[in-house]
Amino acid sequence: MTRLVAQIESLSAASSSGVLLDLSAVVMLLCAFACLGSKLFDRYVTYYAIQSIVLAFAAAVVGHALGQPDLWVLAVATLLIKGIAIPLATRRFLLDRLELHRDVAISTGLSTSLILGAALTTFAFLAIRPATLPHALVASAVVPISTAIILLGGLCMVVRRHTIAQLIGWLILENGVFLGAITLTATFPFIVEAGVFLDLVAAVLIMITFVSGLANRLATASAPELRGLRD
Amino acid sequence: MTALVALVPVLPLLAAFAPLAGLRARGLGLAIAATGVGALACAIAVAVDVGRHGAYEAFAGFLYVDALSTFFTITIALVVTLAGVGSIAYLRTEERRHELDLLQVRLYTIFFALFAGLMLASLETGNLGLLWVLIEASTLASAVLVGLEAKARSLEAAWKYIIISSFGVTMALVATLFLYYAATPLVLLSPNQRLTWPALFAHAHLLEHDSLRLAFLLAVIGYGTKVGLAPMHTWLPDAHSEAPSPASAMLSAALLNTGMYAIIRFQAIALPELGRYTNRVLLVFGFASILIGALFMVRRGNFKRLFAYSSVEHMGIISVALGFGGVLGVYGALLHTLNHAIGKCVLFLTSGELVQRWRTRETREVSGALTAAPLVGGVLLLGSLAIVGSPPFGLFLSEFTIIRAGFRGSSLLAFLLLALLVIAFIAFMRGTAGMATGEQHPVDDETTASVSAASAIPLVAGLAALLLLGLWIPSGLNDLILHSIGAIR
């Protein structure tokens, strides 16, 4: 156990793994911002795919630094499922089939969302200072950044009213959680992480089915039309 | 023992294979009901064993059953049984009317079975990560049930449900991560043990303060989304009103309780370190839910939404009871969980009967249920009286216990609770009394036929159980609740 703690501490210093991890986290944050500032469905999916591939890289870095083989498995699964399969499925079954291009169902302007996003990122850094994290176990920037990604994903879900944009927002949020998970709790039991992953895949499958079902029922699945159930 | 414990969730899961046997609606419904009865029997057997020999743990805490889990398992298994029997009638009617095709009936069976099995499994694990995985999986299974009728409205409700609860449950995952992180000082435990409830509970006072506080808050928000605590309740009325009625019964009486179970576990861990803070958090969310529930019940409209808002209110009451704390408060909370589960199950199954007869979900379009179908109308009226907490039904007793617990702490809060309960009483009865009494609306000739046994049994049995619990608490149940309280203090 103490060996493990020592290893985790090696991540926190200016070691090369720590730097790589910080760098990946920053790229992931930028992807979330890019998604927030875009209006094309195709771009959302692309940015999500890039973010997932970087997440896979980050998982591999942590796995390498800590010598945890299960993190390697997780990295490969992330790459294959989040980086390739989910973006492909979203493109083929939703974007191409429903012929979706521009997202018009945005409740705030792009610049406003970006400013809100910046405010949330600042908030994340203020709220999760490294000081609140005991023992300085992790690369200090990663936890606030993953919190910021979670908040940005949530913001995407709130300001976008199109079902696909909400789906991507949730996936970005989930990526933020995973980034936090691999660094904050690198020793998380593998079986649980595998279960979390399975749930994610099942959720995406069901959501894709619902979106295409909704799109068949309504001419477009954009949420302004989802007004049937109101109080 | 392991086999017996495992049977509780595995039996309902078996029903998922029933469509492979080529059964039709009737057979599939029977399969759901039969496995439900089996699960209930196993759950009671497990409870008896746990009562004798104490908590049971296997597979490094991945399987963990104590009195609290058995209490919730019995409650949920009971709901699964009632809703399963109700499903027989539901599936047969819908098939006869060609509202659902065979594929939809099969999907209903598969996802009902998954939903029930995963929920029961989530109550029997001591690993908080696995608990999260199972609760999220049961959410997904239930979302399919909500969208089953594949109309624009039900798909919309299902979408809203899945996106809001996925968001919420993801917060609960973050909570689990922070709890794990809060356990970092426990260097002697293995990584797996740091996520296992008994180990965490035993070392609760050693957990890191800030992370633990964050974990508890996020857990209340995350699992609270599942429970339907205001202001995270917005998915609940839509999902409950659009789902098939037996599935609504499962959502309201089983799923919400599973979320509450998770919150109780988190609170038990957080209590030694955070103290009264946990109670205050639960009180705030609880009162907000009761207020929102009572206010929205005043609106007349869809009666399934009325029942759904009543669920929000009752989850608020349970949360307030946990917030009052003490043996009396927790006792009231658990007793209320059981009573509400039975009562709401009965009411949602009744609403299914009403929807199938009147073919509407609007309150004002239904009247004279007592004359049109005396059994359904009678159960509607008595069930409503029970759910608003009038004597001699069980909910009166549990609400009374909760208010007594409130007066031990601050009488101001107890009076507030009492006032809100009165508002809820008036709002709810105004809706349902009008449906039961009054002139009989012209209804379809075919639908006035008498109630089938399959739909009558769960209604009458549930009502009888509520009456029994209002008059007398069996000593076995009393012991079980007291042991449950012992397990989390």
By CB atoms closer than 10 A (0-12, 13-18, 19+), residue B59 is exposed
Query: C-alpha A64: how far from its chain's center?
Result: 22
B224: closest CA of chain A, how far (Å): 17
The partner residues of B447 in beta bridges, in order of sequence, read: none
**Tokens standing for residue A88:** 């492909």
Question: Which of A78, A74, A90 lies closest to A51 in space, CA to CA?
Answer: A78
Name the β-bridge partners of B57.
Answer: B64
The SS3 of residue B96 is: helix
Q: Which two tokens stand for residue A213?
A: 């079902």
* A170-212 tens-digit pLDDT: 999 999 999 988 877 777 778 888 888 888 889 998 888 888 8
> A105 pLDDT exceeds 80?
no
What is the C-alpha separation between B142 and B164, in angstroms, rounded? Answer: 13
Residue for token pair 């997780």: A74
Nearest-CA residue of chain A relative to B159? A210
Q: Least CA distance to A167: which residue of chain B? A: B163
Confidence class of residue A65 from pLDDT cuts 50, 70 and 90?
confident
DSSP string, B256-316: HHHHHHHHHHHHHHHHHHHTHHHHHHHHHHHHHHHHHHHHHHHS-SBHHHHHHHHHHHHHH
Contact B424, B290 (CB under 8 A): yes
User: Side-chain half-sphere of B441: how many Cα atoms within 13 Å?
Assistant: 19
- The predicted model gives B266-270 an average pLDDT of 94
B251 pLDDT tier (thresholds 50, 70, 90): very high
Q: Which residue has the tokens 């159960």?
A: B379
CA dist A41 to A37, A46, A101, B376, Å?
12, 9, 6, 50
pLDDT value at position A136?
Answer: 47
Query: How far is it, in rounded angstroms, from Cα B69 to Cα B9?
Result: 13
Asked which of A43-52, B433-442, B457-466 is least confident by mean pLDDT, the reply is: B433-442
> Quick check: B236 contacting A, CB < 8 Å?
no
Please judge whether A231 and B187 are an interchain contact, meaning their C-beta atoms are less than 8 angstroms apart.
no
B367-378 burial, b if ≥16 CB within 10 A, otherwise e? Answer: bbbbebbebbbb
HEC-encoded secondary structure of B113-132: HHHHHHHHHHCCCCEHHHHH
Chain A residue nearest residue B207, CA to CA: A134
B239 alpha carbon, distance to own chain's centre: 14
Residue of A150, A203, A229 with shortest CB distance to B166: A203
From chain A, pick out residues whose CB is under 8 angstroms from the CB of B242.
229
H or E element, residue A120? helix A110-127
Q: Say whether B192 and A189 touch across the interface (CB within 8 A).
A: yes
- Chain A contact set for B302 (CB, 8 A): none
Chain A residues whose CB is inside 8 A of the B178 CB are 184
The tokens describing B250, both together, are 């499962």
Distance in angstroms (rounded) separating the CA atoms of residues B257 and B254: 5
On chain A, the residues whose CB falls within 8 A of the CB of B159 are 163, 207, 210-211, 214, 226
Q: Which residues contact A31 (CB under 8 A, 6 or more apart)?
A: A47, A48, A50, A51, A54, A172
In the prediction, which pLDDT does B403 show?
94
pLDDT in tens, B164-210: 999 999 999 999 988 988 887 787 788 788 889 999 999 998 888 88
Which two structure tokens, joined as six digits, stand for B102? 């065979």
The pLDDT tens digits of the residues spanning B4-42 come to 999 999 999 999 998 888 888 888 999 999 999 999 999
User: Is residue B75's pLDDT more than 50?
Assistant: yes
Q: Which residues contact A59 (CB under 8 A, 6 or more apart)?
A: A71, A72, A74, A75, A78, A178, A182
Nearest to B260 by CA among B321, B349, B306, B348: B321
Q: Has residue B315 got a pLDDT over 90?
A: yes
Closest by Cβ to B163, choosing from A137, A170, A180: A170
Confidence of residue A93 (pLDDT cuts 50, 70, 90): confident
Place A66 in a pLDDT band, splitting at 50, 70 and 90: confident
Chain-chain contact of A2 with B187 (C-beta, under 8 angstroms): yes
Q: Which residues have a Cβ under 8 Å from the Cβ of B251 and sit 6 or more positions away?
A: B142, B146, B239, B240, B243
Q: Are residues B225 and B169 in contact, defined by beta-carbon separation less than 8 angstroms?
A: yes
- How far apart, in whole angstroms, are the C-alpha atoms of residue B253 and residue B380? 17
Retrieve residue A74's tokens.
Answer: 């997780």
d(CA B145, CA B133): 19
Cα B487 from chain centre = 21
Q: Which residues of B180-193 are buried (b: 16+ CB within 10 A; e: fewer)?
A: bbbbbebeebebbb
pTM of the model: 0.92
Min CA distance, B277 vs chain A (Å)?
19
Q: H/E element holding B65?
A: strand B63-65
Which among A134, A187, A210 has CB closest to B191? A187
Nearest chain B residue to A132 by CA distance is: B210
Q: Over 50: is that where the pLDDT of A221 sits?
A: no
Residues of B in contact with A218 (CB under 8 A): 152
